[in-house]
Amino acid sequence: MDNLLLMLAPLFSSKLLLVLFFGTLFGLILGVLPGLGPTTGGALILPFTMTLDPLSAIVLLTSIYCAGTYGGAITAVLINTPGTPAAAATCLDGYPLAQKGEAGRALGMATVSSTAGGIFSVVILVFFAPILAQLAYEFGQPEYFALAIFGLTMLASIGEGSPIKNLIAGAFGILISTVGKDFMTSIDRFTFGINELTEGIGFIPVVVGLFAMSEMLTQSTLINQVFNRIALKAIKLPSKDDYKKTWKTILRSSGIGSFIGVLPAEGGTVASLIGYSEAKRFSKNPEEFGKGSIEGIAGAEAANNAATGGAMVPTLALGIPGSATTAVILTGLIIHGVRPGPDLFREQPDFLYGIFGAMLIANFLFFIFGFFGAKIFARITLVPNKILWPMIFAVSVCGTYSLNQSIIDVWIMLFFGVLGFFMRRYGFSVVPVIIGLILGELVEGTLRQSLVIFDGNWLMFFTRPIALTFFILSLIALAFPLIRSRKLKKNYD
Amino acid sequence: MKNVQKQKRANKSLPFFFRDEFRVSLVIILISVALLITTFTFDVVPPILNRGIQPATFPKALLVIIIVMTLLIYYLATKNPWKVEKKLPRSFFLTLSSFVIFVVVSKTLDFFLAISALSIFVSYCWGEKRLFYLLLVGIIFPIIVFIFFETILGLRFPPGIITNIYYS
């Protein structure tokens, strides 16, 4: 009961309500603009959150996350381009339905299923995050090391693209975290005599570089791209018949999305694809999929929004990000001096339940904004890239500079922008780099402290049941893509 | 799907040193080897103070993992080649060169002049020819950003020919 009251706290704070209002609005705008999305937007806003108290800062980031994930559907339905990667599956049926003159119905279903998925996932978050945090009390250094390895292998396994490339990217992210003074011995590593590197490479220059600047370079290759935008008269709430057709799909996809979200991977993107394919598998009319099926829209949208709450579970309970955007939120927590994990649940329940409540309210807010403002948000896509991206560059540069007032940080950001562009061009996802960078200190620290505990005996890791379970799960995660590709080959033959 | 197959076949017909998988793998391995050599220059903790492993051991292990996995992706790519990527357009190289110009101008002349110059240059190269919009992205917007950071966030920007005028 106390926790429920704590969840309602944002409703009684005018400051938090204002933050939620702007966060949701900003998230929707970011979601609508192809190439931006909640991850890049979160990274851009991160330096500004330094002026806020920790709760307001995280409420701002989480509301951007929830609204941005939904916002991608508007562009997916109207211009057949997902505003966010998580909305890619929404294009498959959203755009064909809009082409039939039913854009309002498609967006209505996307709005309702996104809200339902989001609310479902917050309920999961409220119930499961404390349980997971309680379990984490049993974890020592070796268990945390095994957990971090499991997180990285899961990311490689079910994240987008080649698992080996994802592992290389993750290892590279951990390598970046080793730059600077070694935290146990104060010995310089990879500083090359540059004083500014002795403190290590900050999260923000890397995050802004890999997401925003690399996207700017990607957009520079697409300047002749023309979008065909379908006119939207008004958004329509789903009919009784539509609800009858889709309620099971929404419920199933909400469950799938929340579960996928909990696993450390690319959250909403993977969740929406699985939610969509499961909706097709269970549908009475699978032949309608790809031609404007209302179930297809519901399946994809409920799943990607359900992944938001799911991804927050490991982020808050264990400090292991469940998706790219939660990696940014975790960065926000760290720079505000909040250490996620079981202690956070015991010592700062008001902070945590404030976030849960804010996520719940954000889901209702984006429903209202989406329902009444989709037509206006759709017009934002008309802002030409040749105007938008130079402006984003100015904000990125100043935001990155503002954190440490260091011009070196700006150069690091540009370097990672170029690197991120080429990584994406050759099929390396940039998400594992960020997650590797965030988990790097945890991986190295827990490994070295475990070896101290074990007196240098590596085999002792396998005598700890929880650690051993995570190692076995990591092996299964690594073997999963191999089994999947063999199965697909067998089916194909 | 057919297009991807076609791009893959086109890649297979190239000599191995022109293929993307070879060049990308080579770059990763060369950089990793260079960094691996660097790890041998790290200071060594005397055994009496050493707890666990040496500071160089962890990065060394990571670099070895990266090299091994890169060899693996190259080996797999010889069986299943990557698709040939389209050539990068002129606008990409112009945007990339604007980053270099930004670094030089921000270091030698002025931080905000660099932002203005890059914004106008990129906007123009991406096809914006209308003077009002060029001024909007190159002058009006950077001024708004400057005022926001300077007054609301209380940030002090690095000295330069324009910022010095403002601060003096």
A358-369 tens-digit pLDDT: 999 999 998 998
Tell if the CB–CB gap between B128 and A407 is shorter than 8 Å.
no
Residue of chain A nearest B123, judged by CA positions? A386
pLDDT mean over A401-422 = 89
Decide if pLDDT at B9 tops 90. no
Alpha-carbon span A91 to A447, nearest angstrom: 44
Count Cβ neighbours within 10 Å for each residue of B61-81 and write b for 16 or more, e otherwise. ebbebbbebbeebbeebeeeb
Closest CA to A114 of A310, A379, A370: A370
What residues of B are in contact with residue A185 (Cβ under 8 Å)? 45, 49-50, 55
Alpha-carbon span A152 to A314, nearest angstrom: 13
Tell if the CB–CB gap between B82 and A427 is shorter than 8 Å.
yes
> Model confidence at A76, in pLDDT bands (50, 70, 90)?
confident
Task: Return the number of CB contacts < 8 Å for A and B.
Answer: 157
- Residues B109-165 have pLDDT tens digits of 888 889 999 999 999 998 888 899 999 988 999 888 888 888 877 778 888 888 888
Alpha-carbon span B132 to A228, nearest angstrom: 26
Alpha-carbon span B32 to B38, nearest angstrom: 10
What residues of B are in contact with residue A394 (Cβ under 8 Å)? 115, 119, 141-142, 145
What residues of B are in contact with residue A414 (Cβ under 8 Å)? 99, 102-103
Burial class (CB in 10 A: 0-12, 13-18, 19+), A89: buried
What residues of A are in contact with residue B113 (Cβ under 8 Å)? none
* Cα dihedral B163, B165, B166, B167 in deg (nearest 10): 80
- What does pLDDT average to over chain A? 84
- Residues A135-170 have pLDDT tens digits of 777 788 888 888 888 888 877 776 667 888 888 999
Burial class (CB in 10 A: 0-12, 13-18, 19+), B83: middle
Closest partner residue to A390 (CB to CB) among B59, B123, B155 is B123
pLDDT mean over A88-96 = 85
Alpha-carbon span A222 to A403, nearest angstrom: 31
Task: Domain ranges for chain A, please list them.
Answer: 2-139+188-439
Decide if pLDDT at A84 tops 60. yes
What residues of B are in contact with residue A395 (Cβ under 8 Å)? 145
Q: Cα A195–A199–A200 angle (5° rounding)?
A: 105
pTM exceeding 0.95: no
What residues of A are in contact with residue B28 (Cβ under 8 Å)? 168
**CA dist list (Å): A229 to A77, A137, A232, A377, B74:** 9, 52, 9, 13, 42
> Model confidence at A395, in pLDDT bands (50, 70, 90)?
confident
> Model confidence at A302, in pLDDT bands (50, 70, 90)?
very high
Alpha-carbon span A298 to A295, nearest angstrom: 5
Q: Are A91 and A80 in contact (CB under 8 A)?
A: yes
Instruction: Kindly state the DSSP code that residue A189 receives in the 8-state scheme.
Output: E
Closest CA to A27 of A325, A453, A330, A333: A325
Q: Give the CA radius of gyration of chain A.
A: 22
pLDDT mean over A103-115 = 90
Decide if pLDDT at B70 tops 90. yes
Tell if the CB–CB gap between A386 and B72 is shorter than 8 Å.
no
Tell me the HSE value of A123 on the side-chain side, using a 13 A CA sphere: 9
Residue of chain B nearest A413, judged by CA positions? B99
Bridge-partner residues for B158, per DSSP? Answer: none
For chain A, the distance separating the N- and C-terminal CA atoms, rounded to the nearest angstrom, is 57
Closest partner residue to A386 (CB to CB) among B20, B52, B123 is B123
pLDDT mean over A77-88 = 78
Comparing B26 with A373, the larger pLDDT belongs to B26
> Model confidence at A384, in pLDDT bands (50, 70, 90)?
confident
User: Look-up: residue for tokens 């950077």?
Assistant: B142
Closest partner residue to B38 (CB to CB) among A174, A190, A417 is A190
pLDDT for residue A112: 92
Residue of chain A nearest B136, judged by CA positions? A387
Residue of chain B nearest A451, judged by CA positions? B52
pLDDT for residue A241: 87
Task: Domain ranges for chain B, please list them.
Answer: 2-79, 90-167
Q: Which amino acid is at A370?
A: G
pLDDT for residue B30: 95
Residue of chain A nearest B40, judged by CA positions? A189
Beta strands in chain B (DSSP E): none
> Model confidence at A423, in pLDDT bands (50, 70, 90)?
very high
pLDDT mean over A236-262 = 87
Tell if the CB–CB gap between A447 and B42 is shorter than 8 Å.
no
Q: Which among A17-21, A87-91, A287-291, B41-45 has the top mean pLDDT?
A: A17-21
What residues of B are in contact with residue A427 (Cβ under 8 Å)? 82
Decide if pLDDT at A45 tops 70. yes
pLDDT for residue A36: 74
Give the list of residues 6+ apart from residue A82 with CB closer than 8 angstroms, or none: A34, A72, A75, A76, A88, A90, A91
User: Look-up: residue for tokens 């359900």?
Assistant: A306
